[in-house]
Every structure is written in structure tokens, then in C-alpha cells.
Structure 1
Amino acid sequence: MAETTQDGPGEALGAKFLDQVPIEITVSVGKARPLLRDLLRIDRGGILPLDRRIDDPVELYIGDRLIARGELQEVDGDQPGQIAVRLTEVIDVASGD
């Protein structure tokens, strides 16, 4: 097995490989804390209030790590009603801020 260094061909190959790895980002629009009895009674069409307002920023996570905040927007394009997030703040993940 060939050994590679940080400056060798393995680094370039690794960087190209990592560029192709998909990452799942979770967008959190809010949380709900209903009583169990209320949750058991909810039917289709029921409303579950969240702890945020519609114009509050959403939070973007990779796993449990907050990476950014943004605003929900409707995307112009082929699929009417499709939403996206416009980033308003990107967290410095190196320092955790």
C-alpha cells in the first residue's frame, strides 16, 4: 500500500472525492411542545403552533451543529411553491461562533 503525504497525490484525490460527497442539511423552522393528550387528538388539517413567527430566521444544521441562519423564500422556476433558504448568517464552525 502506497503511503501519501499531505503534499502528495493522495491529498488532491481526497479533495476531489470529498467535493462529491453529498451532505444532508436540516432546516429548522421551529419547535412545538404540545401535551401528549392534545397531540393524540390532532387530526388531518389540525394546526400545531410553533415557537416562532413566520418571519423569524430559520436555522440550518449538519447533524446537531448549527452552521447558518436564513430566511425562507419561494423559488422562481419550474416547480411552483418550491422553497429555499437565503442565508443571512454563516456560523464560523472552526470557532463555534
Structure 2
Amino acid sequence: MDDATPAAESDPVNPFTQVPIEIVISVGKSRPLVRDLLKLQADSVLPLDRRVDDPVELYVGGRLIARGELQELEGEQAGQLAVRLTEVASLSGGL
């Protein structure tokens, strides 16, 4: 077995290695008053609690698993957003 390949990826007996999971990427939050929310329409701007250069957070099942930076892909996938990970939670203790 290659040292760079995690055991879970190379284990054909473990069916969980083939189950997709959803990762939620959080870029920020907003807490408008309901009266302000009711005024929103096309072209309204809703400010977030983060700046463009701030890290985004990655969640699985509501649990923070990593942080990263938004990037735009190039080549055939130009214009598509991606996340470059800068911090990853350990299996034992989180970030």
C-alpha cells in the first residue's frame, strides 16, 4: 500500500468510503431586522459579517471541519468557485 494513500480509500471492503457527503461552505452571516428583510428585492445588498479576504468555514453535519480561502478555478472550469484549505480539523480535537 502506498504511504500517501489513506487506508480508507484503499479498502474495497468498507462501503462507507464510497458514500458522498455534503459539505456546507459558510462565507458569512447577516442578521437583518424582519422589517429590513421584508424590504429586500432584486439588486438589494445584504451585508455580511465578513470581509472578502476572510477565511470561509467548511461544515459537515453542522460541525466545523476546516477553514479555507475562496478561489476561482481556471482552464475548462474557469469561473467556478473552489476552496483551498488552510486549516483542517484533527480527528481527535477539532480545529
Q: TM class by shorter-chain length?
A: 0.7 to 0.9
Q: Give how far 1:96 is off.
A: 2.6
RMSD (Å), alpha carbons? 1.5
User: Using the alignment, how far apart are the partners of 2:12 and 2:76 within structure 1?
Assistant: 37
Matched residue SS, 2:52:
coil
Q: 1:37 — aligned with what?
A: 35
Q: Does 1:67 align with 2:65?
A: yes
Q: Deviations over 1:8-64 (max 9, x none)?
A: xxx852x2x111100100000000000100010010111100000000000000011
- Tell me which moved more, 24-33 or 70-79: 70-79
Where in structure 2 are there 5+ consecutive unaligned residues? 1-10
Equivalent residue pairs, number: 85
TM-score by length of 2: 0.82
Q: Give how far 1:94 is off.
A: 1.9
TM-score by length of 1: 0.81
Q: Does 1:25 align with 2:31?
A: no
Q: Which residue type is aligned with residue 27 of structure 2? A: V
Query: Quick check: which has more Rg, 1 or 2?
Result: 1
